[in-house]
Chains A and B, each alone.
Chain A
Amino acid sequence: MTKSTAPWARPQKSSETAPRNKPLLIRKGHVIDPRNHVDAVRDVLIQGRHIERVARDIKAPPNAEILDAAHLIVTPGLIDIHVHLREPGQEEKETIATGTAAAAMGGFAAVACMPNTVPPLDNVSQIQFVTMKAESEGYVRVYPVGAISKGQLGKELTEFGAMVRAGCVAISDDGVPVANAKMFRRALEYARTFGLTVIDHCEEPDLAAGGVMNEGRLAAVLGLKGIPRQAEYIMVARDIALCELTGGALHLAHMSTKESVALIRQAKKRGLPVTAETAPHYFTLTEEAVADYNTLAKMNPPLRTAEDRAAVLEGLSDGTIDVIASDHAPHTAAQKSREFDFAPFGIIGLETTLPLVLTELVQKKVLSLSNAIKALTDSPARALNLPGGHLAPGAPADVTLIDLKAKHTAGTFASKSQNSPFIGRTFQGRAAATLVDGDVVMSEGRLLRKPPLMNG
């Protein structure tokens, strides 16, 4: 398929004025909807902003728009629950507009954005700022994650209830995790009041302090200060213990070590309300990627060893790790071209996550296509109790179309920042189109601005 002939590639202008109430029929795609056990060629009918039904050979209603999805995979809109949009405060790295553009390009219909902005998302007005900005400028759905503590200082709880009313979907002190065990216990307990999941970035701050890469042989040779794997899994163990104590829902972000995977596997066996996530770089790369002081492979948690990578793959394959999220962390070229110690942690990932999942997991038979889609739709939706992630009648009309055959090489990104270690890497498979609320927001690598939401 070529760009020019894509049947749904409406010119931008007409999309802006297109009537929203026109039914849309996605025809003859291979529908994969893990929650509803669909894995077959089906038609998907969208009415307004909702899925009307998924069935074989649906007769097109009069005046329906038709998308021919033959030879494409049709899935619930992908959801990335770990994204740094950097707005407010660090707009030189990313904005809600550019970050959601990157999401749409990568096939994501929704993102949950982390609260470590400047200032952090720790009160109602900050949450409102994000949701309003996302409604007016965003290409995809944005679910703000509120901070656990005021100023992310780990001292006083934020107003979870008020933030939930304003649109916050989960809480986390991502980037500056809560060191104090009692404080984290209170967060897990109080979050239960509102059915909120607590997301933790597991890092024992004193052990990790000053570290810039995985502690081990390579760090010893390079003369770089290591972050021991224990800094992660000590906190995984602590969090699981506190989850057991409180019964609060816990989501463990970006898991990178084999011990963490083992601890989570055990916790799940005991029936604790724990979900876990990893990012594509942890199942694709190892610490060797920083061997020439490549700051584009500097991230936190750091890339680990081949053994850890294997354990992460196994955790994905047996379902210990539920969710794949990008941990999209944009930084400017100037910041990333500094000395290794001075360059900030993090890489962008919204536009490489699906290609890496398809290339590294599906093609290499770590996950079935259906389970890979599950880790990008159903599981993240369940982890944070989000509305999408499936295609049952009445579900939001968020849909992703995937071309499994498309070969492409990562070059430049829609994200405002370009800090990716995957530049130059060749992938097979990518998003062909992203639909949010029944509107095509991306088609064949072109962004189509969605009309502003009418009623939120």
Chain B
Amino acid sequence: MKLKHKDLLGLAHLAPEEIDFMLHTAVPFKKLFTRSIKKVPPLRGKTVAMLFYEPSTRTRTSFELAAARLSADVLSLAVSSSSVQKGETLMDTARNLEAMKIDFIVLRHSVSGAPELLARGVRAHVVNAGDGNHEHPTQGLLDLFTIREKKKKIQGLQVAIIGDILHSRVARSNIWGLTKLGARVRLCGPATLIPAEMKTAFGNNVDVTYNMKDALDGADVAYVLRLQLERQQENLFPSLREYHDFYGLDAKKLSWAKKDCLVMHPGPMNRGVEIDSSVADGPQSVILDQVTNGIAVRMAVLYLLAGSSEGAPPRAARNITGSESSSGRTG
């Protein structure tokens, strides 16, 4: 089997078999990690550019390690978040990278859809490392990998995703991935953080509840999202205390779930806000397994994309280039 896609932009457009294939491919890569020499040669001579318009430690390090363990050369571009709007345009930056014959661009961007824009304009493989509130497909894959590793299946599981669904690309990728592989997803958080349409927007296997007891009752996985603390200023919830009181995962709330319910978090954690240390560090936590698996999954993604449609021409760029000028709210 080969991947049909030049890029990995999201899990929404992948078939269940394709997701399965990626997870399957990650298994042997993970086995490498127990060896003393963790490097294999498949991407020797290839260059992977890390183009991060948002600060990130975990995802970036994970991708860098994944690329390095596949013997690719890694180029890290630190683009300050202030230059997203003011500096060189995304497409100009990408064209410059392409002129340097880069093979992969791993993009982290604050605007939903930025990887699609990039993928339309360049020949290089584009891997979405998180775009706005849209998707974070490799996070979704590594979460699926972790759940399957521990539970031996995805089909039929009850997964509670707790927190700021509205602003979460992790939630969206997980919802797509989990429902495509046959799990049932329960979204839980204050109503201000769950768009009313979420229940229907992702098919029939999603439920929405504002009550943690309902969300966790009989759950196989409790997936806690990171709470962006600045959301409080937008009046999406009144205080961290109230948030923690109702939605912070602690031992008591976790006891409502199945005894072997996994505790997951994409990191970095706000201990004492969305998750208590007692569960984050407890026996049900697989949070550090997620980190390890992230590298294996990202190796699989880079490896499979390299073998997909190498040298394929970019999908026609819809927009034409031109000189840059400010874009006001006009018209």
Contact = CB atoms under 8 A, between A and B. Distances in A.
B114 A339 contact: yes
Nearest to A300: B331
A365 B80 CA distance: 54
Given A175-B330, A221-B172, A327-B331, A333 B319 contact: yes
Given A224-B113, A341-B132, A333 B331 contact: no
Given A221-B12, A224-B112, A339-B90, A116 B330 contact: yes
Contact of B117 (A220, A221, A339): A339
Contacts of A116: 330-331
Interface stretch (B60-68, B196-204, B263-271): B196-204
Contacts of B328: 118, 344
A220 B198 contact: yes
Interface residues of B, number: 40
Among A219, A337, A338, which residue has the most Cβ atoms of chain B within 10 A? Answer: A337
Among B111, B325, B329, which residue has the most Cβ atoms of chain A within 10 A? Answer: B111
A222 B113 contact: yes
A92 B326 CA distance: 11
B91 interface: yes
Contacts of A176: 329
Among B133, B318, B322, which residue has the most Cβ atoms of chain A within 10 A? Answer: B318
Nearest to B89: A338
B116 interface: yes
Contacts of A30: none
Contact of B327 (A84, A217, A293, A338): A338
Contacts of B112: 222-224, 293, 340-341
B329 A331 contact: no
A333 B12 contact: no
B312 to A, nearest CB: 18
A220 B197 contact: yes
Contact of A292 (B116, B133, B172, B330): B116
Contacts of A345: 329-331
Contacts of B201: 217-218, 220-221
A332 interface: yes
Contacts of A90: 330
A334 B329 contact: no
A344 B323 CA distance: 15
Contacts of B114: 339-340
Interface string B116-143: 1100000000000001111100000000
B325 A332 contact: yes
B85 interface: yes
A223 B135 contact: yes
Given A337-B117, A341-B132, 19 more contacts: A92-B325, A175-B330, A175-B331, A220-B198, A221-B12, A222-B134, A223-B134, A223-B169, A223-B172, A329-B331, A330-B331, A332-B325, A337-B321, A338-B117, A339-B84, A339-B109, A339-B111, A339-B117, A341-B111
Interface of B: 12, 84-85, 89-91, 109, 111-114, 116-117, 131-135, 169, 172, 195, 197-198, 200-202, 317-325, 327-331
Across the A-B interface, the 9 shortest Cβ-Cβ residue pairs? A346-B331, A329-B331, A337-B319, A293-B113, A223-B134, A223-B133, A334-B322, A339-B111, A223-B112
7 contacts: A221-B201, A226-B195, A330-B331, A337-B321, A339-B111, A340-B114, A342-B327
